[in-house]
Amino acid sequence: MITGKNCIAGDFSAKGSVVFKTTNPKLNIENPTAFVEATKEEIEEAVSSAWSAFKIFRNVPGKQRAAFLNAIADEILALDQELVDMYVTESGLPEGRAKGERGRTMGQLRSFAELVSNDHWRENTFDAAQPDRKPLPKDDLRKTMIPLGPVAVFGASNFPLAYSTAGGDTASALAAGCPVIVKSHPMHAGTSELVASAIVRAAGKTGMPKGVFSSINGGIQAGVDLVNHPKIKAVGFTGSITGGRALFDLAAKREEPIPVFAEMGSINPVIITPSAIAKRGNEIAKTYAGSITLGTGQFCTNPGLLLTIKDENTQDFVNELAKETIALDPQCMLHPNIKSGYEKKGGDVTSQLGVEVVGKVEGDLEPNYAASVVATVSGTEFLANPKLHQEVFGPFSMVVQCKDEAALLQIIEGLEGQLTGTLIAEENDSLDLVEIVDALENRVGRIIYNGVPTGVEVCPSMQHGGPYPASTDSRFTAVGTHAIKRWVRPVSYQSFPKNLLPDHLNG
């Protein structure tokens, strides 16, 4: 049963007087539960409890942390239809998406459980002492990774489960030995409370210290108070460039600056060669229509920018892409504010000089349903107008028609940092594919060949991050087991007696 309360160190609390409600975007009505925003006192209690828990949790053996993570997955599954129904009610997404995302969330938790069941992830190194080395002796040195401390995680709007309360940031931080305080996303506070209750039950069943997890409700001020707290040692965020950059700047201004690992905006350029269009243009158009509209375009990897070199086949391809895209049924967006943002940003882009709207869903739509849009512009106009480079969060994509390969490369090299870049090409393509790949490597975190960017596999080889503003630190991934590296730091032990070394360095 949903209470609307904050989860503070395992107990549910509602000391504040400010409340809000979530929205059912399909019905365009408020949901009944009033959620109470956390007070400064509750945030202080959550962080202080997390700091106390950290002193214990950081030394909990990996196998016990693995049991905790597996128990969270079990408890999430035990929520069964109650969680699915709440997810659908608050997001407007279909039940199949809810179950798929639940499976992904559980898979992430179990993958981190497997990772920390042994200490290989710590990347321990050992350099034996050489007391007789000339001209100077060498001391024994051993290096390992240790957790940073309590982590603040901000739930994402577009993934109520997989990037939220028990999502990848939380799973990887707990795996590393860091207590977590989640600021739930106001759009799916009910979903967050259910998942928080699952984490609390799992912590109790596996004997984790009180304060290892908390979840708070609130808006901007609650987030500011959380990040400013001196006992918070890192931040995880998935969302807009505006929100991520605000947190990054806030953390940098602290007396003790802390890292913010923010995964932010991306238009995910797709380079389609003329040879590929000539050989299989209709097939590519159909595939990309599905990718552009998948999840109503509300993915950080949505292909918002298609680049090609103009020739006699280009316009036919653009027309086919538009036809295939608008033929797909409009879908509900996550929230009225996201719908209005989509329309505003889409309108800003399509009103720019030289932009032609080739296809747009017309007619009356339900209140929060999105009209898919395919637009096109010349490479010259795109290069000259930075407003065309902005992300339109929703089922929108722009085809840029370049005059030649040099212009294509100039556009790639001039883009802001991106999560993904895709190359659609033929085996013996007329373009210099090596040069294109080289250009993409400097702009993106993941390069796809003859595929679509939507769909992010959770595995060690996945890189979900990229140069700014795709993320605040391109050296780390937000997806896959290497995400644990965000929440740890290296420590060397020099000439230490074995009884004082961590167990995993007693090799």
For every residue of 475-489, which 3-state class applies, written as one string? CCCCCCHHHHHHHEE
CB 146 within 8 A of CB 58: yes
- Model pLDDT, residue 21: 98
285 shares a domain with 206 = no
Beta strand 141-147 pairing with 125-127: antiparallel
400 shares a domain with 370 = yes
- Model pLDDT, residue 77: 98
Residue 321: CATH number of its domain: 3.40.309.10
Q: In this structure, is residue 370 part of a structural domain? A: yes
Beta strand 418-424 pairing with 444-449: parallel
CB 182 within 8 A of CB 217: no
Q: In this structure, is residue 368 part of a structural domain? A: yes
Q: CB-hemisphere CA count at 13 Å for 9?
A: 18
98 shares a domain with 152 = yes
362 shares a domain with 329 = yes
Q: In this structure, is residue 9 part of a structural domain? A: no
294 shares a domain with 248 = no
273 shares a domain with 254 = no
Q: Which of 279, 255, 263 lies closest to 168 in space, CA to CA?
A: 263
Q: In this structure, is residue 17 part of a structural domain? A: no
- Model pLDDT, residue 245: 97
Q: In this structure, is residue 455 part of a structural domain? A: no
| Structural domain count of the chain | 2
324 shares a domain with 432 = yes
Helix (H, G, I), strand (E, B) or coil at 219: coil
Q: In this structure, is residue 73 part of a structural domain? A: yes
**Other CB atoms within 10 Å distance of the CB of residue 167:** 27
Identify the H or E element spanning 214.
strand 213-216
Low-confidence ranges of the chain (pLDDT < 50): none
Which residues carry out catalysis?
Answer: 263, 300
Q: In this structure, is residue 464 part of a structural domain? A: no
Paired strand residues for 121: none
165 shares a domain with 221 = yes
Domain, as residue range, for 323: 269-449
Residue 479: CATH number of its domain: 3.40.605.10
286 shares a domain with 222 = no
3-state secondary structure 71-82: HHHHHHHHCHHH
CB 421 within 8 A of CB 440: yes
192 shares a domain with 51 = yes
- Model pLDDT, residue 155: 97
476 shares a domain with 364 = no
Q: In this structure, is residue 50 part of a structural domain? A: yes
3-state secondary structure 221-252: HHHHHHHHCCCCCEEEEECCHHHHHHHHHHHH
pLDDT digits (tens, 9 = 90+) for 96-143: 999 999 999 999 999 999 999 999 999 999 999 999 999 999 999 999
Cα 273 from Cα 280, distance rounded (Å): 11
Length of the chain equals 507
Contacts of 298 (CB under 8 A, 6+ apart): 158, 333, 334, 338, 393, 394
- Model pLDDT, residue 39: 98
pTM score of the predicted model: 0.97
331 shares a domain with 252 = no
